[in-house]
Chain A
Amino acid sequence: MPPESITVAGSFGTPPLAERAPRQRALASNHVTGWLLALPLTLVLLAFLVLPILMIVVVSFWTATEFSIVPAFSFENYEFLLGSDVTWRVLLNTVKYAAVTWAITLVLGFTVAYFLAFHVRSQTWQTTLFLLCTIPFWTSNIIRMISWIPFLGREGIANSALLSWGVVDQPLDWLLFSDFSVILAFVHLYTLFMVVPIFNTMMRIDRSLLEAANDAGASGFQTLWNVVLPLTRPGIMIGTIFVVTLVMGDFITVRFMSGSQSANVGRLIQNDIGLLQYPSASATSVMLLVVTLMVIGVLLRLVNIRKEL
């Protein structure tokens, strides 16, 4: 028994020995139970998250020829990666996609969540409309993405509609296989990840705060800016982390929606893997991981999520 627990027990009057022993045993078994309960998840995370990442880090220092992968400790991959301006352009492009998608999903997500949380009064409607938001998730995201192609193409529905209305006199080229279509698909795929956490934090805002703001003479916009927005920050941060990590790690959306005309870091990795250049792919992955963690680190600095949850 550590000394401080003796003093504590003493100050409350030492219980008789017979009573003390079982209590201690219960304490010890509580301890053991706790560790046992945490064990399965720890093992799963170790085996399927930590080990693979370590493996990737290790392989990123290996070298490769056309035919073989050679275990080594060489900075060759990183030198090539960081020395090439393709990498920087692609990284910049990745960050651009993430930033633009983030901005648009934030505005959309906040608006939708605000509408659901504050304008829809009945709970039935709230649930119904919320479920409505999830309908796109009933199909796979590849299908959702590909279904944009016939809509946006040169002969697609969008262009033919615009032509027949006389808005344009020749089909718009930038609708498909462009940054526009990539970001459109990202927004379509990921807005819900913004809506859900923001809606959740908004639902926890005490309604009397809005009345108090109204009582203090705040206009609708002033209430939004001074009360709702600051109190929704944790939800915004969680949504931001979702969207940013999803967009930064994506490769399939960029490939389909840009018609292989633009690239992000995910595409670089995919290319390397296609060429069996695992060490190079690993180095690129490590770079992406570091950049993404840095972004999240900055976000967590801005808002202490643990405190605000």
Chain B
Amino acid sequence: MRTGHDLELIHVTKRYGETVAVADVSHLFRGGSYVCLLGPSGCGKTSTLRMIAGHETISDGSIVLSGAEVTHLPPARRGTAMMFQSYALFPHLSVRDNVAFSLKMKGVDKAARHRRAGELLELVDMGRYADRLPSQLSGGQQQRVALARALVTNPQVLLLDEPLSALDPFLRIRMRAELKRLQRELGISFLHVTHGQDEALALADEIVLMNNARIEQAGPAREIFNAPRTEFVARFMGGHNVIALPQGRFALRADGVRLAADGAEAVVRAVEYQGGHVALTARMAGEQEILALIPESAFFADPKNPGDAVRLAWDEGRLHRLQA
């Protein structure tokens, strides 16, 4: 389904000298959706984001936003806005002037731009701090200001470069709920770069998983998690075992493995209590390590220790065949 505000990458390539950071990537980002660009560091996800933002020139290919080619437009004329990893707030300007910065550049008069900045600050619940300097704010507050500043131009696509990586774990979870809420309220696309699969699963309508400068797999979060196409995807998303059987390689979700009276023989290597689950690592025949997430109550009904011999079983239907 295509809407008016789709963002499309067409055979986009980025080369830095001899190295290829993004290799011939084509993808359609649907308008109004929350998309996470996910991947290990150096996979090209940030380069992709920066090319969309216009902060990086494109070696080959083109970018189309809302039906208009924006490949060579300057950042401010694309309909995108970027929120930087380190927030990049201007340290010499008050919170209000930071948010109003782009309006000032456009020549909007002071009263109007301050009014608009005030609205945005209310939206991110930072109205009280309008007169402070960025250095007088906590990390989470700085991030809200950065968000308000990016949104002040009414972008169709908001680009977020690892927005949560500088926050502590508790704040990170709170802010990601906030991001999702804002995206829903505003109805614009959020394109969020992250290397955390839990973040991507929690937020994304669509996950685009990149590896080695290419898109490894793209699709709804559940599809990526439940039907990984390749071994890389299965391993990167976590919670999966990749096992080699005579018929080929398969992904098997760790919570689909259980201890049973009959099944594959294995020796327990490690037991980790994780609250709701117990993570039991065992070694099967053929030196294959396998991870089983066993519900806490089931495990403690018959606890195992490293060195114990166990039998592991799973339903055939839970084996997912990998293409590579």
Interface residues of A (CB under 8 A from B): 206, 208-209, 211-219, 222, 226-227, 230-231
Contact = CB atoms under 8 A, between A and B. Distances in A.
Nearest to A212: B88
Contacts of A226: 101, 104-105
Nearest to B76: A217
B82 interface: yes
B102 interface: yes
Contacts of A227: 90
12 contacts: A211-B82, A213-B105, A214-B75, A215-B102, A215-B150, A216-B101, A216-B105, A217-B74, A217-B153, A218-B102, A218-B105, A227-B90
Given A214-B74, A216-B76, A216-B153, A231 B91 contact: yes
Given A211-B55, A216-B102, A216-B105, A231 B92 contact: yes
Contact of B88 (A209, A218, A219, A222): A209
B53 interface: yes
B101 A213 contact: yes
Given A212-B90, A227-B90, A230-B92, A217 B106 contact: yes
Q: Which 5 A-B pairs have the closest CB atoms?
A: A217-B76, A216-B102, A212-B88, A208-B88, A218-B105
Interface hub of A206, A217, A219 (most chain B Cβ within 10 A): A217
B314 interface: no
A213 B54 CA distance: 13
A237 to B, nearest CB: 14
Given A212-B82, A227-B90, 11 more contacts: A208-B85, A212-B89, A212-B149, A215-B53, A215-B54, A215-B81, A216-B149, A216-B153, A226-B105, A230-B92, A231-B91
A253 B153 CA distance: 55
Which secondary structure dominates where chain A touches chain B? helix
Interface residues of B, number: 25
A69 B186 CA distance: 85
B105 A217 contact: yes
Contacts of A219: 105
Contact of B86 (A206, A213, A218, A222): A206
A230 B98 CA distance: 14
Nearest to B77: A217
A208 B162 CA distance: 14
B84 interface: yes
Interface string B96-109: 00000110111000
Contacts of A218: 76, 101-102, 105
A219 B76 CA distance: 10
Contacts of B150: 215
A206 B105 contact: no
A208 B86 contact: yes
Contacts of B90: 209, 212-213, 227
A217 B91 contact: no
A230 B94 CA distance: 13
Interface in B143-193: 149-150, 153
Nearest to B84: A208
Given A216-B105, A218-B105, A230-B92, A211 B84 contact: yes
A206 B84 CA distance: 12
A231 B88 CA distance: 13
Interface hub of B53, B86, B105 (most chain A Cβ within 10 A): B105
Contacts of A209: 88, 90
B274 to A, nearest CB: 36
B57 to A, nearest CB: 13
Nearest to A205: B91
Contacts of B86: 206, 208
A214 B55 contact: yes
A208 B161 CA distance: 12
Interface hub of A206, A212, A215 (most chain B Cβ within 10 A): A215
Interface in B98-132: 101-102, 104-106
Contacts of B77: 217
Interface string B7-27: 000000000000000000000
A222 B92 contact: no
Contacts of A215: 53-55, 75-76, 81-82, 102, 150
Interface in B64-88: 74-77, 81-82, 84-86, 88
A191 B217 CA distance: 57
